[in-house]
Chain A
């Protein structure tokens, strides 16, 4: 079976390294992006099976990236990752069609499980 492709977008090198390592060892192909525009451009290609998207990024905010993708008809499922602990971001994320929301700091096995679950449905 072909490996699933995941786009990890976060401006923190720690998070991208951690997620890349964890996901690659889990058998996924991982691409990383560190700002909003890069994420938007990469996601537009539509080659990804899942996006893990940080809310607070330079350029475009995570939620703005989702807005743009939707305007362009990109339907890749998105898990929003956020260190901002406010309910509005959570609600806004789901309102925009995000499939899941994970707060930073997070549990790695839990995030992997969420990814597995998302990619199996």
Chain B
């Protein structure tokens, strides 16, 4: 009796995985259509007209910095090469203890000023404001430590322009990324409240002076796994989310936010571990509840590069933090789940996030316990189990392969060695690596109220990456 039940549950779990992979396959197919157009337009369409046009809305780039002394000056230089007509940089020093502020002031000859600062969103205490009078319009806000969200809020308060690109100090921005993202704003100024960008792992890439010279697949197996993960997400899922106007997560590493909309919902939540998803979802809720037409989009041609964890220890910390961020989002936005008021987001993408991201580790772990048990009790037909498992694996593999195929249009990873590395990775990631992340995500469910407000990376600075360990 119990054995029969276990058998049914075991099959159910496998079917759950097949459904999950089919959902991802649907997203990939839909993304393919979006990318095809975007690829042609990106290759032949010219957007440099935006550089001299009065129709390009001005943008503030907001960069929170916590103990970034190693790379902060390089990243300012790298960011000032972003091609866009009216642009200011707002760096928020979030109570760094390593002399980040002093380095900035000295290297860029900043002077202490007062600016008419508006406390639209309350933040930790502002200690001082500095301005550069060089080629780049640069403001540095020095504030007491309050975490990434708090620092971003201070940046939103100080920003002078109607759109804010919130990013990180340790990313490399493609010089055209902001024009590409802002094209989506110009397309529909009234409705567009946020634009996300295509985040790619920087590890293994060759850099020169803050410029990407060549994209290569990184050496470490942990890093390679993440390359594949990022491709599945940013290349094969998000274009479809955006196409359905049901994009639940504008990434913290690159998000253009309409300032007035972000302020209307109170900015980023202080101390939140997934402040990017939280703000995206609150924007959805705010506009849908009030019946205000809006859209939150993802632009695949707006490419930025970020360093991803290269060791298991750091990756584990990151994934635990991500899953805790997701947990609080699932809790906070429970009423939006399966709620038709929120359209496709409420009926499809957010429930899928809950079912296939939030619950997945628990269901997978349950599968590890139940399936062997049912097999031992002989209540699960071992051949049907085998076939179901094969289907789940096969569809999952197909999703990885489709992601790689879609990524071809970008022209990165263009050596045969890169191709074979990624193909091998797609085959072997299910043999232990993914299971490892499942364990971490389950670990996230238990205890540990300690919040690391500032990422997990050991920061080496942009310049150091080229030769980094």
Tell me if chains A and B make direct contact, with any CB pair below 8 A.
yes
Residue A59 at the B interface, CB < 8 A? yes
A56 touches B81 (CB 8 A): yes
Instruction: A59 to B210: give the CA distance in the assembly, Å.
Output: 7
Q: Verify if B433 is at the interface (C-beta below 8 Å from A).
A: no
With beta carbons under 8 angstroms apart, the residue of A37, A56, A63, A92 that contacts B209 is A37
Q: Is the CB of B209 within 8 A of A58?
A: yes
Flag whether A61 is at the interface (Cβ < 8 A).
Answer: yes
The verdict on A35 contacting B209 (CB below 8 Å), with A56-B81, A61-B135 known, is: yes
Contacts of B77 in A (CB 8 A): 59-60
Produce 1/0 per residue, B340-360, CB < 8 A to A: 000000000000000000000
In this assembly, does B4 line the interface, its C-beta being within 8 Å of a C-beta of chain A? no
Is B415 in the interface zone, CB < 8 Å from A?
A: no
Contact indicator B52/A58 (Cβ below 8 Å) = no
Contact with B along A35-70 (1 / 0, CB 8 A): 111000000000000000000101111010000000
User: Within residues 42 to 89 of chain B, which ones have a CB less than 8 A from any CB in chain A?
Assistant: 52, 77, 80-81
**Residues of A contacting B81 in the complex (Cβ-Cβ under 8 angstroms):** 56, 58
**Which residue in A56, A58, A61, A85 is a CB contact (below 8 Å) of B210?**
A58
Shortest beta-carbon distance from B359 to chain A in Å: 46
Q: B173 CB to closest chain A CB, in angstroms?
A: 12
The answer to whether B135 and A59 touch across the interface, beta carbons within 8 angstroms, is no
Alpha-carbon gap, A92 to B77, bound state (A): 18
**Complex CA distance for A37 and B366, rounded to whole angstroms:** 57
Chain B hits for A89, CB < 8 A: 135
* Nearest-Cβ distance from residue A92 to partner chain B, whole angstroms: 8
Give the size category of A's interface with B: 10 to 19
Chain B's closest residue to A88 (CB) is B135
Closest CB of chain B to A13's CB: distance in Å? Answer: 13
Contacts of A60 in B (CB 8 A): 77
User: A60 to B52, alpha carbons, bound, how many Å?
Assistant: 23
Interface residues of B in 13-52 (CB under 8 A from A): 52
Chain B, Cβ-Cβ closest to A92: B135
Cβ-based interface call for B443 (8 A): no
Chain A: which residue is nearest B83 at the CB level?
Answer: A56
B125 within 8 A of A: no
**Chain A: CB-nearest residue to B77:** A59
CA gap between A19 and B370 in the complex, in Å: 71
Q: Once bound together, how far apart are the Cα atoms of A85 and B77, in whole Å? A: 20
For the complex, what is the distance from the CA of A59 to the CA of B78, rounded to whole Å? 8
Q: How far is the CB of A70 from chain B (nearest CB, A)?
A: 16
Q: Which residue of chain B is the closest to A85 with respect to CB atoms?
A: B52
19 CB-based A-B contacts, threshold 8 Å: A35-B208, A35-B211, A36-B209, A37-B209, A56-B81, A58-B209, A58-B210, A58-B211, A59-B77, A59-B208, A59-B209, A59-B210, A60-B77, A61-B80, A61-B135, A63-B135, A85-B52, A89-B135, A92-B135
B residues near A, CB below 8 A?
A: 52, 77, 80-81, 135, 208-211
**What 3 A-B pairs are tightest by C-beta distance, nearest first?**
A59-B209, A58-B211, A58-B209
12 more CB-based (< 8 A) A-B contacts, given A58-B209, A59-B77, A59-B208:
A35-B208, A36-B209, A37-B209, A56-B81, A58-B208, A58-B210, A58-B211, A61-B80, A61-B135, A63-B135, A85-B52, A89-B135
